[in-house]
């Protein structure tokens, strides 16, 4: 009986978690200096050490479908989010509160999984 209750509790907990770990920030008119990218494309995070969320800029050469992948230290895929983004700067929030305290790599890839940019973060909840 305890096993059934424990299993049911886990399913309820996982079912209530927010699926979207990445969301666009619509109210930013100008890219903050801490997130500016000089190249034509790339990825930059506002801070390397994060707790609940971190803002990042993904600068893209063209409008299209991209993926942001989160990998742990062993390069195992922890999470990925597919998103439609515009050419140029795109400011996003990455919610990391559900990740364990550890080091992670954020990878920005195109639809063919070619890497456009990489950034490292350390989650310290």
pLDDT in tens, 52-108: 999 999 999 999 999 999 999 999 999 999 999 999 999 999 999 999 999 999 999
pLDDT at 123: 96
* CATH classification (class only), 20-123: mainly beta
Tell how far CA 99 is from the center of its chain.
11
pLDDT at 25: 65
Closest by CA to 55, choosing from 39, 72, 37, 35, is 35
pTM (two decimals): 0.76
d(CA 7, CA 11): 6
The per-residue pLDDT of the chain, averaged, comes to: 84
Beta bridge partners of 29: none
For the chain, the domains span 20-123
d(CA 124, CA 121): 10
The answer, yes or no, to whether residue 124 has pLDDT greater than 80, is yes
Tell how far CA 55 is from the center of its chain.
9
């Amino acid at each position: 009986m305890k096993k059934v209750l424990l299993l049911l509790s886990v399913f309820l907990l996982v079912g209530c978690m927010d699926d979207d770990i990445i969301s666009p920030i619509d109210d930013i008119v100008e890219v903050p200096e801490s997130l500016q990218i000089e190249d034509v494309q790339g990825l930059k995070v506002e801070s390397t050490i994060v707790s609940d969320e971190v803002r990042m800029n993904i600068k893209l050469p063209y409008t299209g479908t991209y993926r942001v992948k989160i990998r742990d230290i062993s390069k195992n895929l922890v999470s990925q989010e597919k998103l439609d983004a515009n050419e140029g700067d795109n400011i996003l929030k990455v919610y990391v509160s559900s990740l364990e305290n550890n080091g992670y790599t954020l990878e920005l890839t195109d639809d063919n999984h070619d890497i456009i940019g990489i950034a490292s973060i350390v989650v310290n909840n």
